[in-house]
Amino acid sequence: MTISCSGGKRIRIWSAMYGRLEKNECLNTGPSSSTCRAESSGNIVSQKCNGKNQCLVAASHLIFGDPCYGINKYLEVEFLCR
């Protein structure tokens, strides 16, 4: 995921979630009722992106850990440009 701000503004992360909260979001090959979230998602994305004009964050268990093995996960990020 690429996060960017234009006009000289800087990224300020509001929230981030790596895992699975919606059963219909992203193809899921595991149990459809499973939900999970990497608790450190917000901290990891904030450290990587806050104060920059642009940053790249991979939606990967190598970055966030694997909060639910065998379940397809996705990354959601809310941010502001200041």
pLDDT one-digit tens code per residue, 55-66: 999 999 999 999
How far does Cα 46 stand from its chain's mean position? 10
Per-residue model confidence (pLDDT) at position 72: 85
pTM: 0.86
Domain enclosing residue 21, as ranges: 2-81
Q: Please state, in angstroms and rounded to a whole number, the distance separating the CA atoms of residues 69 and 65.
A: 10
The highest-confidence range among 20-24, 26-30, 42-46, by mean pLDDT, is 42-46
Long-range contacts of 36-41 (CB under 8 A, 24+ apart): 36/67, 36/68, 36/71, 36/73, 37/67, 38/64, 38/65, 38/67, 39/67, 40/64, 40/65, 41/16, 41/17, 41/75
How many structural domains comprise the chain?
1
Please state the rounded mean pLDDT for residues 7-31: 83
